[in-house]
Amino acid sequence: MVREELVEKWEKEKPHVEDALWDEAPGYDLIPEVDLEIFNSFFLDGTHSCPPLSPLGLELVWARGCTHGLKYVNTYFNFPRCYGWEGRAKDGGIYWAFIIERDEEKIKEREKGFMEALMPFIRDFDGIWEKNKAYITKEQERMKTFLPERPKNWDYLHYHWALEKFIIQTHWELHFLGMQSSYSGWILLEEECKKRFGITDKSTEFQDMLRGFDNEVYRIDKEMWLLAKEAVDAGLGEVFKEKSAKEIIAALEETQKGKDWKKKFEEFLERRGWRTIGFDLYDLSWREDPTIPLGKIKTLVMTGEAEKKEFSLDKIRSELERRREDAVKRMLERVPEPDREWFSSLIRLAQKASSYSEEHDLFFEMTFFAIAGWGYRKIGEWLAKNGCIDRPEDIFMLNGREIENAIMCPFKSDFRWIARRRRKKWEYLKERFAREGEFRPPVYTKRASIEEAVAEDLLPSMDPICIKIVVGELPEVKPQEIGADIMGICGCPGEAEGYARVITDYTQLKDLRPGEILVCPQTGPEWTVAFGIAAAVITDRGGTLSHAAIIGREYNVPTVVNTFVGTSKIKTGQRIKVKADIGAIYILDKE
Partner 1 sequence: MEKKFVLWFEEGGKELVNVIGKKCANLCEMTKLGLRVPPGFVISIEAYRKFIEEKKVLEKMQEYIQTLGEIKEKGIGIFEEMSQVLRRMIEEAEMPSYLEEQISSYYETLCKKVGVSELGVSVRSAGVESRPGMFETYLNVKGKEEVIEKVKKVWASAYTPRAIAFRVNKGLPVLGDELGVAVVKMVNAKAAGVCFTVEPIKGDSSKILIEANWGLGEGVVSGGEAVDRYVVDKSSLEIIEKVPGNKTKCVVRGERGTKWQEVPPEKQKVLCLADEEVREIAQLGILLEKHFGVPQDVEWAIDLDLPFPQNVFLLQTRPAKVMERRSPEEEIAKRISTLHRRITIDKARLKEIEFKF
Q: By CB under 8 A, is residue 268 in contact with partner 1?
A: no
Report the alpha-carbon distance of residue 154 to residue 134 in Å, rounded.
Answer: 29
Q: Which of 358, 391, 575 is nearest to 485 (CA)?
A: 575
Are the beta carbons of 569 and 579 closer than 8 angstroms? no
Q: Which of 81, 88, 422, 423 binds partner 1 (CB under 8 A)?
A: 81
Minimum gap (Å) between residue 406 Cβ and partner 1: 36
Kindly identify the residues of this chain, within the stretch 326-385, that bind partner 1 according to CB under 8 A: 341-342, 344-346, 349
Are the beta carbons of 549 and 543 closer than 8 angstroms? yes
Q: By CB under 8 A, is residue 451 in contact with partner 1?
A: yes
Q: Which of 26, 75, 76, 107 binds partner 1 (CB under 8 A)?
A: 107
Minimum gap (Å) between residue 422 Cβ and partner 1: 26
Minimum gap (Å) between residue 184 Cβ and partner 1: 5
Task: Compare residues 179 and 346 and give the one whose CB is closer to partner 1.
Answer: 346
Report the alpha-carbon distance of residue 533 to residue 528 in Å, rounded.
Answer: 10
DSSP run (H or E) holding 460: none
Task: Compare residues 47 and 170 and give the one whose CB is closer to partner 1.
Answer: 47
The region, left, alpha or beta by phi > 0 then psi within -120 to 50, assigned to residue 564 is left
Q: Which of 111, 126, 307, 431 binds partner 1 (CB under 8 A)?
A: 111
Q: Phi first, then psi: what are they for 286, rounded to 5°?
A: -60, -40
Are the beta carbons of 408 and 154 closer than 8 angstroms? yes
Are the beta carbons of 277 and 506 closer than 8 angstroms? yes
Residue 589 half-sphere exposure toward CB, CA atoms < 13 A: 9
Minimum gap (Å) between residue 111 Cβ and partner 1: 5
Task: Compare residues 108 and 401 and give the one whose CB is closer to partner 1.
Answer: 108
Q: By CB under 8 A, is residue 115 in contact with partner 1?
A: yes
Task: Compare residues 47 and 399 and give the one whose CB is closer to partner 1.
Answer: 47
* Part in contact with partner 1 (CB under 8 A); list of ranges 180-188, 249-257, 362-370, 500-508: 180-188
Instruction: Please name the amino acid found at residue 553.
Output: R
Q: By CB under 8 A, is residue 442 in contact with partner 1?
A: yes
The region, left, alpha or beta by phi > 0 then psi within -120 to 50, assigned to residue 562 is left
Task: Compare residues 367 and 461 and give the one whose CB is closer to partner 1.
Answer: 461
Report the alpha-carbon distance of residue 39 to residue 34 in Å, rounded.
Answer: 9
Report the alpha-carbon distance of residue 505 to residue 527 in Å, rounded.
Answer: 9
Task: Compare residues 42 and 364 and give the one whose CB is closer to partner 1.
Answer: 42
Minimum gap (Å) between residue 423 Cβ and partner 1: 27
Report the alpha-carbon distance of residue 398 to residue 414 in Å, rounded.
Answer: 12
Are the beta carbons of 30 and 95 closer than 8 angstroms? yes
* Part in contact with partner 1 (CB under 8 A); list of ranges 42-50, 163-171, 297-305, 325-333: 42-50
Report the alpha-carbon distance of residue 492 to residue 207 in Å, rounded.
Answer: 7
* Part in contact with partner 1 (CB under 8 A); list of ranges 3-11, 23-31, 107-115, 375-383: 107-115
* Part in contact with partner 1 (CB under 8 A); list of ranges 74-82, 126-134, 210-218, 517-525: 74-82
| Backbone CA torsion sign across 431, 437, 441, 443 | positive
Q: What is the CA radius of gyration of the chain?
A: 24
Are the beta carbons of 67 and 85 closer than 8 angstroms? yes
Kindly identify the residues of this chain, within the stretch 122-161, that bind partner 1 according to CB under 8 A: 122-123
The three state secondary structure string of 220-277 is HHHHHHHHHHHHHHCCCHHHHHHCCHHHHHHHHCCCHHHHHHHHHHHHHHHHHCCCCC
Q: By CB under 8 A, is residue 496 in contact with partner 1?
A: no
Number of residues that this document lists for the chain? 591
Q: Which of 51, 57, 69, 80 binds partner 1 (CB under 8 A)?
A: 80
* Part in contact with partner 1 (CB under 8 A); list of ranges 19-27, 118-126, 408-416, 511-519: 118-126
Q: By CB under 8 A, is residue 482 in contact with partner 1?
A: no
What's the angle, vertex CA 522, arms to CA 521 and CA 527, rounded to 5?
A: 115
All residues at 6 or more sequence positions from 582 whose CB lies less than 8 Å from its CB, including other chains: 482, 484, 490
Report the alpha-carbon distance of residue 22 to residue 29 in Å, rounded.
Answer: 9
DSSP run (H or E) holding 547: helix 547-555
Instruction: Please name the amino acid found at residue 476.
Output: E
Task: Compare residues 202 and 275 and give the one whose CB is closer to partner 1.
Answer: 202
Q: By CB under 8 A, is residue 454 in contact with partner 1?
A: yes
SS3 587: strand
Q: By CB under 8 A, is residue 269 in contact with partner 1?
A: no
Instruction: Please name the amino acid found at residue 87.
Output: G
Task: Compare residues 121 and 213 and give the one whose CB is closer to partner 1.
Answer: 121
* Part in contact with partner 1 (CB under 8 A); list of ranges 147-155, 308-316, 359-367, 446-454: 446-454
Q: By CB under 8 A, is residue 184 in contact with partner 1?
A: yes
Q: Which of 6, 128, 188, 587 binds partner 1 (CB under 8 A)?
A: 188
- The count of other CB atoms within 10 Å of the CB of residue 303 is 20
Q: Which of 89, 118, 232, 389 binds partner 1 (CB under 8 A)?
A: 118
Minimum gap (Å) between residue 442 Cβ and partner 1: 4
Task: Compare residues 111 and 511 and give the one whose CB is closer to partner 1.
Answer: 111
Q: Which of 19, 191, 254, 505 binds partner 1 (CB under 8 A)?
A: 191
Report the alpha-carbon distance of residue 230 to residue 233 in Å, rounded.
Answer: 5
Distance of CA 587 to the CA centre of its chain: 29
Q: By CB under 8 A, is residue 292 in contact with partner 1?
A: no
* Part in contact with partner 1 (CB under 8 A); list of ranges 117-125, 271-279, 368-376, 382-390: 117-125
Q: Please, which residues bridge with residue 559 across strands?
A: 492, 537
* Part in contact with partner 1 (CB under 8 A); list of ranges 257-265, 419-427, 468-476, 504-512: 468-476
Q: By CB under 8 A, is residue 119 in contact with partner 1?
A: yes
Task: Point out which residues bind partner 1 (CB under 8 A).
Answer: 43-44, 46, 79-81, 107-108, 111, 114-116, 118-119, 122-123, 184-185, 187-188, 191-192, 341-342, 344-346, 349, 442-443, 450-452, 454-455, 459-460, 462, 471-472, 474-477, 564
